[in-house]
């Protein structure tokens, strides 16, 4: 997959600019606060469906404007495509692909695929479980068309369940019938999500081990484990019928406790992944250096798995990563990214022979 162009208008600090990209390594350089990350933010909207920096669409519209427009032109193995997003202060965002409006997120995601790597991701291994679930959700939503549908369905039912748990008559017989219906509907979605996440973790294990071994001179073995509330047996977690049965029971069996606490205690919104290093939990025990090596391995693996599922590498968007990594890890990471298109931002690298294309940002615009 190759990004050819990105157009950005009234999006944060960028007034009106078209950026052109080439194969290989594209560097976006410039001082702080000139709009480098904003370019990556605009591009990644097309991979993730929204900004990676904010949930508020109003925030990305330039301070003195009422709307913003972004677009990308990219090439996949079939053809050249154009996608666009337009934002207005008083309306919902509008998305198009090749001139046709796309209303469903499930149809939007998976078209343009990208891996984003920001300094925040360097602590992914030990940060909150939410961050690791988000990693899985974003990766899977780009390669598994059904995933986002299951996730949406489950989240909707879960919010209904949480609302019901907070009601004063939550333990009344008519509420109990509702809880049973919700459990019946939530269980298959939870099971489908669990199976897909579990399979993803198995693929991660293979890929991460390879990379991690190379970074640590073969010193450590890794295993990516999906932690679910219904079972620790991978075969059970991958069996959607069995998993659905266990989820349904879980959603009913603990109801009185959940009513007391007024919140849902079990389900895929609580799951986590842990990468074991020689059998030890990296979440608990890994050093900062190991944490960084694992984060790099995870980001490389994300691209490999996407390649395996779609036949193409995603575009790599690296936001000021090299400034955070030591020389050895940085060199390893960059050496493994061959064959992939990279767009990298930095305020302390000067454009040189290492780069196939250099864009210099100043005050929200590209300068020569």
The residue ranges that bind ligand ADP (CB under 6 A) are: 12-13, 30, 32-38, 59-63, 345, 361
Q: Is 185 helix (H, G, I), strand (E, B) or coil?
A: helix
Q: Which stretch binds Mg ion (CB under 5 A): 33-41, 67-75, 165-173, 304-312?
A: 33-41
Q: What DSSP character marks residue 313? A: P
Q: What DSSP character marks residue 61? A: B
φ and ψ at residue 83, rounded to 5 degrees: -125, 150
Specify the residue, 30 or 267, whose C-beta has the smaller distance to Mg ion: 30
Residue 66 CB, shortest distance to ligand ADP, in Å, is: 12
Residue 13, binding choice from ligand ADP, Mg ion, none, Cβ under 5 to 8 Å by partner class: ligand ADP
Specify the residue, 10 or 248, whose C-beta has the smaller distance to ligand ADP: 10
Specify the residue, 43 or 230, whose C-beta has the smaller distance to Mg ion: 43
What the block records as the tokens of 340 is: 């992939």
Specify the residue, 61 or 246, whose C-beta has the smaller distance to ligand ADP: 61
Q: What DSSP character marks residue 168? A: T
Residue 32 CB, shortest distance to Mg ion, in Å, is: 7
Specify the residue, 53 or 152, whose C-beta has the smaller distance to ligand ADP: 53
Residue 53 CB, shortest distance to ligand ADP, in Å, is: 8
Residue 157, binding choice from Mg ion, ligand ADP, none, Cβ under 5 to 8 Å by partner class: none
For every residue of 193-260, DSSP letters joined together read HHHHHHHHHHHHHHHHHHHHHHHTTT---EEEEEE-SS-S-HHHHH-HHHHHHHHHHHHHHTHHHHHH
In which region does residue 217 sit, left (phi positive, over 0), alpha (psi from -120 to 50) or beta (all else)?
left
Residue 32 CB, shortest distance to ligand ADP, in Å, is: 4
Q: What DSSP character marks residue 54? A: -
Residue 335, binding choice from ligand ADP, Mg ion, none, Cβ under 5 to 8 Å by partner class: none
Residue 30 CB, shortest distance to ligand ADP, in Å, is: 6
Q: Give the H/E segment covering residue 156.
A: helix 147-166
What the block records as the tokens of 366 is: 């590209």
Rounded to a whole number of angstroms, the CA Rg of the chain reads: 22
Q: Which residue of 26, 34, 37, 207 would you call a contact of Mg ion, by CB under 5 A?
A: 37
What the block records as the tokens of 240 is: 């959607």
Residue 227 CB, shortest distance to ligand ADP, in Å, is: 35
What the block records as the tokens of 143 is: 């390669």
Specify the residue, 334 or 347, whose C-beta has the smaller distance to Mg ion: 347
What the block records as the tokens of 269 is: 């919104």
Residue 117 CB, shortest distance to Mg ion, in Å, is: 13
In which region does residue 262 sit, left (phi positive, over 0), alpha (psi from -120 to 50) or beta (all else)?
left
Specify the residue, 63 or 78, whose C-beta has the smaller distance to ligand ADP: 63
Residue 367, binding choice from ligand ADP, Mg ion, none, Cβ under 5 to 8 Å by partner class: none
Residue 290, binding choice from Mg ion, ligand ADP, none, Cβ under 5 to 8 Å by partner class: none
Specify the residue, 37 or 224, whose C-beta has the smaller distance to ligand ADP: 37
In our burial notation (b when 16+ CB lie closer than 10 A, e otherwise), range 281-292 reads ebbeebeeebbb
Work out whether 222 is an interface residue with Mg ion (CB under 5 A): no
Residue 64 CB, shortest distance to ligand ADP, in Å, is: 8
Residue 30, binding choice from Mg ion, ligand ADP, none, Cβ under 5 to 8 Å by partner class: ligand ADP
Residue 222, binding choice from Mg ion, ligand ADP, none, Cβ under 5 to 8 Å by partner class: none
Q: Do 171 and 269 form a contact (C-beta atoms < 8 A)?
A: no
Cα separation, 284 vs 251, in Å, equals: 29
Binding site residues, Mg ion, CB under 5 A: 36-37
């Amino acid at each position: 997959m190759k990004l050819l162009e990105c157009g950005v208008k009234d999006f944060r600090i960028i007034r009106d600019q078209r950026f052109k990209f080439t194969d290989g390594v594209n560097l976006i350089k410039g001082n702080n606060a000139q709009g480098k990350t904003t370019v990556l933010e605009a591009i990644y909207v097309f991979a993730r469906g929204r900004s990676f920096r904010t949930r508020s669409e109003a925030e990305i519209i330039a301070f003195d404007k009422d709307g913003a427009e972004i677009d990308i032109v990219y090439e996949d193995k079939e053809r050249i495509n154009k996608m666009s997003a337009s934002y207005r202060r008083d309306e919902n965002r509008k998305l198009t692909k090749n001139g046709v409006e796309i209303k469903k997120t499930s149809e939007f995601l998976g078209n343009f695929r990208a891996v984003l790597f920001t300094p925040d991701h360097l602590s992914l291994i030990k940060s909150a479980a939410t961050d690791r679930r988000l990693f899985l959700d974003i990766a899977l939503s780009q390669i598994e068309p059904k995933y986002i549908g299951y996730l949406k369905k489950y989240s909707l039912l879960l919010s209904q369940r949480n609302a019901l748990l907070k009601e004063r008559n939550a333990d009344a017989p008519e509420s109990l019938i509702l809880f049973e219906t919700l459990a019946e509907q939530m269980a298959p979605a939870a099971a489908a999500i669990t199976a897909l996440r579990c399979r993803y973790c198995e693929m991660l294990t293979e890929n991460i081990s390879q990379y991690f071994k190379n970074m640590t001179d073969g010193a450590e073995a890794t295993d990516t484990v999906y932690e679910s509330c219904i079972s620790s047996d991978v075969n059970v977690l991958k069996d959607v019928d069995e998993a659905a049965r266990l989820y349904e029971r879980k959603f009913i069996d603990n109801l009185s406790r959940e009513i007391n606490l007024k919140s849902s205690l079990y389900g895929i919104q609580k799951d986590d992944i842990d990468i074991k290093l020689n059998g030890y939990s990296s979440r608990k025990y890994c050093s900062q250096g190991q944490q960084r090596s694992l984060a790099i391995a995870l980001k490389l693996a994300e691209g490999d798995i996407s390649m395996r599922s779609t036949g193409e590498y995603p575009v790599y968007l690296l936001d000021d990563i090299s400034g955070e990594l030591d020389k050895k890890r940085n060199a390893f990471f960059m050496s493994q990214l061959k064959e992939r298109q990279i767009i990298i931002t930095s305020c302390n690298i000067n454009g040189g022979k290492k780069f196939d294309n250099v864009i210099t940002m100043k005050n929200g615009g590209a300068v020569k």
